[in-house]
Amino acid sequence: MRFYTGDESGLIKCIDIDANVSLLEAQAQAAKRTKAAAKAKANLKAGEQAAAADTSLAGVEIRTVDGRVNRSNGIQQMCTTKWATNDRAFAVARKNGNIDVVGFEGEQLFTYTDEKFAERVSIKHNGRTINERSYVGLSASDSHFLSCTNMGEVRYQSFATSEAKLMKLPLDACRMRTHNERSSVFAVGGREHELSVWDAETLQESGAGAKPTPIFRAKNVANDFLNLRVPVWITDIQFTSEDATNPTLAVSTGHKQIRLYDARAQQRPVNDWEVSKHPIYHLQASHVRPELYFADNMGNVQQMDMRTGHVFGAFKGIAGAVKSISLSEDGAKIAVAGLDRYVRVFETGSMRRPLHRAYVKQRVSHVVWDWEHKDFSTQEIEEQEAEDIWETMDKAALKKKSNKRKAVAI
C-alpha cells in the first residue's frame, strides 16, 4: 500500500506500508524493541548514554517527496494529475496562495501565485468575520486547473498560458468538488451558500460580461415544524453518478445531516438524514458500492448505506478530527488522516478492523491512495525471489560454459 500526504507544514510525503505485516505484529515488534532498550538503559554504567529507542512500526517506510517545513506553505488542497513530461504529478494549493504542480520525484513543474492572498481581509458575513483567504477546492487535468477560495473566487486556468476565466460566487464557500469523469464540471456550497453545479467550459465559451448559467442550483429544505427557515451550511460534496449533465450528489452539512440531490428530479434534496451527533466535515463516496463514509469534528468515521440512510458501522481508534479520507481501488480498504498525525488503514467490510497505521509527525491535511502501486502477497514475493535465483544461476552457468570454451580455444 502506498499513500501520499500533504500536511500543514508544506511537506508532501510518500508512505509505503507492507500489506503482509499486520498491525498487531508490528506493535508486538515495537514493544520488544522498547523493552530491550529499557533493559539496556538500566544496565548502563555511570556516564554512559543510552541510544534512542526505535519506536517505529515494522512494515512502514516514510520519505519526503517535496517541501521544507514552513507553515506559510501549508497544503490546503491536493490532487493527482497527468503532466506532459511526467506520467503523474501532484497539484497542491498552499496557504500562501500558490498553486504548484509537483512531480512524483519532487520536481517543480508549474507554479501560479494568487496575489490576493497577500492582502489583509476582514469581512463580516452571516454573523462571522472572515479574516483570511483559503482554498476550499482544487482539481487539475492535463491542460487546466480549477480552484476555488472561501471568498467564492473560481479560477479556471490553462497550464500553457496565463489566460484564465474567473467567476465570482457568494462568500463563505466551504467546499468545491469536481466531477470524476469531467474535470470542468464542479459543485460548490458553504455557509448560507446553497449547492450549485457549474461547467467551467461554458464559462470559457460565454465570453466577457456574459452571465454563466448553472447546470443545477439547489433549493433549501422546507421550513421546520416552527415554520422557521433552516440554516444552510454545506461542508462537503460528492458526485455519485457518471452523468455530468444531470448529476446526482451527496452533501454533508454542519448541522449533522447528509442529503442526496438528483438534478433530474427536483431542486430540493430527495433524501435528508440526520446521521451524527456532531457537525459532519468530510464525506467520501465509494466508487464500488452505494456507500458513503463521513467524518465529524470529533474524530468519528462512519459508514452509511446510501440507499437507505442506515449507518451500519464505525471505525475505531482515531484520536483527532479527520481531515481527509481515501479509498483503495477495490474499495476494500479505507485510509483516514487528520490532526492526530497518523495515517490509519481499515477494512471496509463488516469487521472494519484496523490493518495498519503510520506516524507522519505533521498534521495531515490531505491523503491520496496510490492506485497504481500494487501489493504482492507473501507467496507472490517468494515465487518472484525463487525466479530471480534461478535466473541468476542460469546466467552463471552460461558464463562458466563460455569461459571453458575460451580456455579450450586457447
Res 362: pLDDT = 93
pTM of the model: 0.84
Query: Is the CB of residue 94 less than 8 Å from the CB of residue 73?
Result: yes
Q: Which residue has the cell 463516496?
A: 285
**CA torsion, points 383, 384, 387, 389, in degrees to nearest 10?**
-110
Judge whether residue 210 has pLDDT over 90: no
In which element (H, E) is residue 4 found? strand 2-7
Res 138: pLDDT = 96
Judge whether residue 79 has pLDDT over 50: yes
Contacts of 86 (CB under 8 A, 6+ apart): 103, 104, 107, 109
For residues 317-339, average pLDDT: 93
Neighbour tally for 49: CB within 10 Å: 7
Res 196: pLDDT = 96
Beta strands in 141-264 (DSSP E): 144-149, 153-158, 164-168, 173-178, 185-190, 193-199, 216-217, 234-239, 248-253, 257-262
pLDDT band at 267 (very low <50, low <70, confident <90, very high): very high
Judge whether residue 410 has pLDDT over 90: no
Higher pLDDT, 375 or 70: 70
Res 30: pLDDT = 72
Q: pLDDT by residue (tens digit) across 119-146?
A: 998 999 888 899 999 999 999 998 899 9
The set of cell numbers assigned to 134 is 483559503
DSSP secondary structure letter of residue 297: T
144-149 and 135-140 beta bridge pairing: antiparallel
Res 27: pLDDT = 73
Res 386: pLDDT = 73
Res 54: pLDDT = 56
pLDDT band at 206 (very low <50, low <70, confident <90, very high): very low
The set of cell numbers assigned to 46 is 555511570
Higher pLDDT, 18 or 176: 176
| Percent with pLDDT over 90 in the chain | 65
For residues 196-205, average pLDDT: 83
Query: Is the CB of residue 355 less than 8 Å from the CB of residue 323?
Result: no
Secondary structure (3-state) at 296:
strand
In which element (H, E) is residue 388 found? helix 378-409
Higher pLDDT, 128 or 22: 128
For residues 2-25, average pLDDT: 89
Res 95: pLDDT = 95
Query: Is the CB of residue 93 less than 8 Å from the CB of residue 139?
Result: no
For residues 236-253, average pLDDT: 95
Higher pLDDT, 28 or 327: 327
Q: Rounded CA gap, 84 and 276, in Å?
A: 44
Which residue, among 103, 26, 50, has the nearest Cα to 355 in the 3D structure? 26
Query: Is the CB of residue 78 less than 8 Å from the CB of residue 367?
Result: no
Any idea which of 58-67, 173-182, 264-273, 304-313 has the lowest mean pLDDT? 58-67
Sheet holding 193-199, edge to edge: 173-178, 185-190, 193-199, 216-217
